[in-house]
Amino acid sequence: MSDDHPHSTNGSASKSWATKLLQLFTGEPNSREELVDMIQDAEERDLIDNDTKEMIEGVLDVAELKVRDIMVPRSQMVTIDINQTVDAFLPIVIDSQHSRYPVVSENKDHVEGILLAKDLLAYGFGMTDDEFSLAKVIRPAVIVPEGKRVDVLLKEFRSQRYHMAIVVDEYGGVSGLVTIEDILEEIVGEIEDETDYNEDSKADIRRINKSRFSVKALTTIEDFNDYFSTQFGDEEYDTIGGMVAHGFGHLPKPGEEITIGGIAFKVTGADKRRISQLQISFPEHVTETDPDS
């Protein structure tokens, strides 16, 4: 008969995590610390899993953060000069693989707008400087103060449907930028898309021109050696990014360069946690191995 009862064991076991989560608040915690303790207890009692616990804690943390706490610093901003030609700025877009770029004049304190990489598609792959103008393509830049609360900014990102904001200090100078992904990563952890990593390591190495290549930092040293016929050791480091970071002796910023084994490595993508993208230049005697051979 118990099988027909609406509150059977099977029915209780099928409660959603959201329903279980509501059970946490029956004790009415009186402080943030008590709430965190209750969330921890809920995980220990298998009411919620670890991923859910970390997401809830991420939401609580975001409520206490200011934009200055999560922004990409001015020194690490990848920008395009409004007076650059197509040939000049296209390698920047290809190397960094971002979807949005602040377009500046004079310096980073003069942001003229935001370039969306997808907007370049309308001009085709054979575009020339005669038919293309950055000034006609860029979109208005959203400006926010360093002290703005992150949770408030997330609401504005969602309601106003924009994804990047330029951050300014109290004097109006540009101090960095922030994206909606930066905020979401504070809640759910690192977000990796198809451009961040590809199990096919050969796709992680792209030719820019005859002597320069763009290489993802997560490319293994073994695959790097196979591709370029180099002989870097992989006893201490698994990835080319790890080897380069060790060579610097610190976490480098975009634009920093180092030469290892006669090969020039330039950091083109990095955040406050890791290197993500490198541009490499080879001496004449180093040649690319045919990936299909």
pLDDT in tens, 229-264: 888 988 888 899 999 999 998 888 888 899 998 899
261: alpha, beta or left, given left = phi > 0 and alpha = psi -120 to 50?
left
- Quote the strand ranges of the chain, DSSP E: 72-73, 80-81, 100-105, 107-116, 143-145, 164-168, 174-179, 205-207, 212-216, 257-260, 263-270, 275-281
Residue 79, pLDDT above cutoff 90: yes
Question: What domains are defined for the chain?
Answer: 2-62 (no CATH), 68-188 (3.10.580.10), 201-281 (3.30.465.10)
Q: Are 58 and 186 in contact (CB under 8 A)?
A: yes
Nearest CA to 250 out of 285, 274, 226, 224 is that of 274
Give the sign of the dihedral formed by CA 263, CA 267, CA 273, CA 274: negative
Per the DSSP assignment, residues forming a β-bridge with 164 are: 179
249: alpha, beta or left, given left = phi > 0 and alpha = psi -120 to 50?
left
Nearest CA to 104 out of 83, 86, 89, 87 is that of 83
Lowest mean pLDDT, pick from 53-57, 182-186, 204-208: 53-57
pLDDT-derived band at 10 (thresholds 50, 70, 90) equals: very low
User: Letter for the amino acid at 293?
Assistant: S
What percentage of the chain exceeds 70 in pLDDT?
Answer: 75
Q: Can you give the pLDDT at residue 167?
A: 96
Residue 265, pLDDT above cutoff 80: yes
Lowest mean pLDDT, pick from 13-17, 134-138, 169-173: 13-17
- Which segment, 207-221, 237-251, 264-278, is predicted with the most confidence on average? 237-251
Give this prediction's pTM.
0.54
C-beta neighbour count of 119 within 10 angstroms: 14
Residue 10: exposure state from Cβ atoms within 10 A (0-12, 13-18, ≥19): exposed
Residue 215, pLDDT above cutoff 80: yes
Cα torsion 193, 254, 80, 111 to 10°: value is 100
| CA gap 284, 273 in Å, rounded | 33
Cα torsion 272, 273, 279, 281 to 10°: value is 110
Q: Please give the C-alpha separations between residue 195 and each of 43, 179, 256, in angstroms, as whole numbers.
A: 33, 17, 22
| CA gap 242, 224 in Å, rounded | 13
Q: Are 216 and 277 in contact (CB under 8 A)?
A: yes
Three-state secondary structure of 114-164 = EEEHHHHHHHCCCCCCCCCCHHHHCECCCEEECCCEHHHHHHHHHHHCCCE
| CA gap 177, 103 in Å, rounded | 12
Q: Cα–chain-centroid distance for residue 167? A: 17
Q: Can you give the pLDDT at residue 38?
A: 78
Q: Give the mean model confidence (pLDDT) for residues 155-171.
A: 92
Two tokens, residue 142: 């959203």
Q: Give the mean model confidence (pLDDT) for residues 57-85.
A: 85
Q: Are 217 and 275 in contact (CB under 8 A)?
A: yes
User: Letter for the amino acid at 131?
Assistant: E
